[in-house]
Structure 1
Amino acid sequence: MGVGKTWINAVVGAVITIGLSFTGFSPLLGGGVAGYLQAEPPASGAKIGAISGVIAAIPLFLIIVLGFVLFAAVPAGSGGVPGGVELLVIFVVMLPMMLLWFVGLSAVGGYVGAYLHAEAR
């Protein structure tokens, strides 16, 4: 870990994000750890935080896709609309919001983590 280990630091931050997912701001914490471990200026910390957020969003994306596949043919309500249609709407609306949440908060956390590392020296 440390300078030049971008992918390792991003994965560590993503694991922390997923591990602390019961909190509302786990991407902020995971990105902060990734930015702190990167030990570069805050702008680079924001970049590593964003990468960490993208990696952390992958499992959630896969769960959403699995839900879409499993419930695509199941009728959702009395109108007989397949559940997959509702899931598709949720997928189209929620995916950009989810990415913005994970990547945005992770980038902010990465910036703050890198700033704290620079101040600690």
Structure 2
Amino acid sequence: MDTENTLLNAVVGAAASVLLSFTGISPLLGGAVAGYLNDDGTGDTDGGLRVGALSGAIASIPIVGFLLLVLVILPFLGFFGFPLEFGLAVGGLAVLAAIAVLGGVAYTVVLGALGGLLGVYLKGEL
């Protein structure tokens, strides 16, 4: 794999995160894959952190896209025949959901960065 193409390595790591999502630590594993592929043998931990975090951010895109879709539709519930109070109540819950999703994105990015660091370490040891 080409170590100069950081974006491609991050996408491969994000794909690994999605495929391993049943494990619970998939961002860590995906970041490790990205860091392992991106390291050129010099042990550049900054590069591993960077590509791992990028891998976690890419893996979070579908979740953020769904949240944005919901937040765009919720204000217009009154036009679909729902009472305004229902839309406001659901909108309040959507704000709480947005906070939870942003926490999940932060979790994914941080674990991806730590995985990238782990991948660089493993490449240096093997």
Which structure has the larger Rg over C-alpha atoms?
A: 2
In the alignment, the residues of structure 1 paired with residue 116 and residue 9 of structure 2 have an alpha-carbon distance, to the nearest angstrom, of: 11
Aligned pairs, how many?
117
CA contact (8 A) 2:27 2:112 kept: yes
2:122 maps to what in 1?
Answer: 116
In the alignment, the residues of structure 2 paired with residue 20 and residue 65 of structure 1 have an alpha-carbon distance, to the nearest angstrom, of: 25
> If the length of structure 1 is used for normalisation, what is the TM-score?
0.84
2:9 maps to what in 1?
Answer: 9
> If the length of structure 2 is used for normalisation, what is the TM-score?
0.81
Alignment of 1:1-121 (within 5 A): 1-40=1-40, 41=43, 42-72=45-75, 73=77, 80=86, 81-91=88-98, 93-120=99-126
Amino acid at match of 1:85: G
Q: Which consecutive residues of structure 2, in runs of 5 or more, have no partner in the other structure?
A: none
Amino acid at match of 1:15: A
What RMSD over aligned residues (CA atoms) do the two structures have, in Å?
2.1
- C-alpha displacement of 1:68: 3.0
Relative to total residues, which structure has the larger helix share, 1 or 2? 2
In the alignment, the residues of structure 2 paired with residue 111 and residue 14 of structure 1 have an alpha-carbon distance, to the nearest angstrom, of: 15
Amino acid at match of 1:45: G
State the 4+ residue runs in structure 1 displaced beyond 6 angstroms: none
Matched position secondary structure for 2:60: helix
CA contact (8 A) 1:69 1:84 kept: no
